[in-house]
Amino acid sequence: MRRFHLEAGHAWCPQLQLAYSDAMRFARRKLGPPRRSKEYDCRLVALAFAIGIMIPSSIVAVHHVLVLAALFMLRAAEVGQLNLEDVAIDIHSKQVAVKLSHSKCDATARGYRCRWSCICASPFVRQHATAWMLCPFHAMWDYARLAHKFVHPSAAGFALLGGASPLFLNGNKRVDAQALARALKQLDLRHSIQRPETLPRMGPSCSFGGHSARRTGCQLWFRRGLPEAVIRRLARWRSDIIEIYLAAAPLEDLGTHSFQSDRLAPGAVSMEFLLSEIRKIVGDHLAALKLDGPSQRPKGLKILLSKISGNQVRVHEVVHLRGRSTEWKTRCGFYFGRPSSLAHVELEDSTRDEVKAGSFGCVCTAGCFR
C-alpha cells in the first residue's frame, strides 16, 4: 500500500505513516487464533523438585513459586506485588493467610484475604514433596525457609519479617510475567510438566505466560473437588473466563460426580463400611451395659450412697459413670444430682452378697439389689 501510494506521486506525510503503523500492528496481532496460556501440572513440578531437577533461573526457589502461584491462582502482576508483610503463618494451627492489597478487579481497593489450613497431613520431607507441596500451608512455609531463611519462632503466629520487601524474589527484583514464562519453558524442557491428555488440544498459539498459573490452579482445585463458585471467589473472577480456564476438566471423570455410579472418589468411604463400623461400636457399648446373669457381672461393684431419713444410708448399684454426672446411671434410676446423694464407691473385691448383708447401709430393692 505504501509503495503504490509513492509510485502514484503522492506525498507520504507523518500522519499516513502513523496510520500505516497502526494498521500493520492491528493486522499482525489479529491474525490466527487468539493466544492463550498453557496450563501445567503442579504435581509434576513438585516431582521435579523431589528428584532434584533444577533449572538455571533467577527466581529463588522456582519450584515453590510456580506451585504457590497456582495454588493461590495469582496473576503475574499479583505474584510480583506480594510483600513479606502480606503473609502470616500460624505454626500451631497450621494455617497460612495471604493478603492482596489490590487486584485487577478490585476497583475500590478493599483488598483480598484468604486463609488456608494444612490439607496434606503428610511427612514434611523432600521425598514426599508431591503431597506437601500441593498444600498451601506447607508450600509457603518451606518457601519462607528457603528464600527468606525463616527459622521456627517461639510464638505461635507470625508475619514474615521484611515489611514491604517482595515475597517472591527474581534476583534482587520482583518476579514478572517474563520471568515466570522463561522458568516454565526451561522446566518443561528438562522435565515435562504438562498433563499428557492436554497436549493434543494445545495449538501453536498456546504458550506459557503470566496466566498459566491461574489456569493451572483453576483446574487443580476443580479436580480436587472444590466447587466452581468457590474457585471463582478465590480467583476473584467476575466474568465467565472460568469456563475457558476449566477447559475439559469437568468432562475428564464424570463417574466421581455421578450419584448413580458405584465408583468412589479418591479418599471416599462407602456407606456400607461406615455402617459396619457403627455396628461394631454400638455392639461394644451394648455388651458393656448388658448384665443378664451372675456370670456376666464383674467381680467388683460400683455403688452409690444416698442419704435417707435420719442417718441411714441407702446403697444403689451403678451401671456406668460415663459423661457428665447428670448422665450417670443406676439400676433403679436414682438421679445422681439429687441433694441426698453422698458419694460413689468402687468395691474391687466385694460381692453382691456382702453388699446385701448391709455392710455399707440399707440396700436399694427398687431395681438394684433384688
Other Cβ atoms less than 10 A from the Cβ of 339: the count is 7
Name which of 254, 167, 181 is nearest 213 in CA terms. 181
pLDDT tens-digit readout, 310-361: 667 777 777 776 666 666 677 777 766 666 666 656 665 556 667 776 666 7
The single-letter DSSP state of residue 338 is S
Q: Which of 199, 228, 254 is the last residue of a domain?
A: 254
Distance separating alpha carbons of residues 313 and 35, to the nearest angstrom: 90
Cell digits of residue 101: 492489597
75, 214 Cβ separation under 8 angstroms: yes
Distance, C-alpha 127 to centroid of its chain: 20
Q: In the chain, what is the straight-line distance between the N-terminal and C-terminal CA atoms, in Å?
A: 116
pLDDT tens-digit readout, 6-62: 888 888 888 888 888 888 877 766 555 556 788 899 999 999 998 889 988 889 999
Q: For residues 185-202, b (16+ Cβ closer than 10 Å) or e, as one string?
A: ebbbeebebbbeebeeee
Looking at the domain assignment, is residue 26 inside a domain?
Answer: no
CATH (domain of 247): 1.10.443.10
Higher pLDDT, 306 or 337: 306
* Together in a domain, 300 and 218: no
Cell digits of residue 17: 505513516
Q: Which residue is it, cell 434410676?
A: 333
* Together in a domain, 298 and 348: yes
What is this structure's pTM? 0.60
Report the pLDDT value the prediction gives residue 297, as an integer from 0 to 100: 44
Average pLDDT (86-107) is: 80
pLDDT at 273 over 70: yes
pLDDT at 266 over 90: no
What's the domain range around 153?
37-254
The single-letter DSSP state of residue 73 is T
Q: Which of 203, 235, 254 is the last residue of a domain?
A: 254
Looking at the domain assignment, is residue 260 inside a domain?
Answer: no
Looking at the domain assignment, is residue 52 inside a domain?
Answer: yes
* Together in a domain, 230 and 359: no
Name which of 80, 71, 73, 118 is nearest 101 in CA terms. 80
Cell digits of residue 275: 455402617
3-state secondary structure of 59: strand
pLDDT at 259 over 60: no
How many domains does one find in the chain? Answer: 2
Looking at the domain assignment, is residue 28 inside a domain?
Answer: no
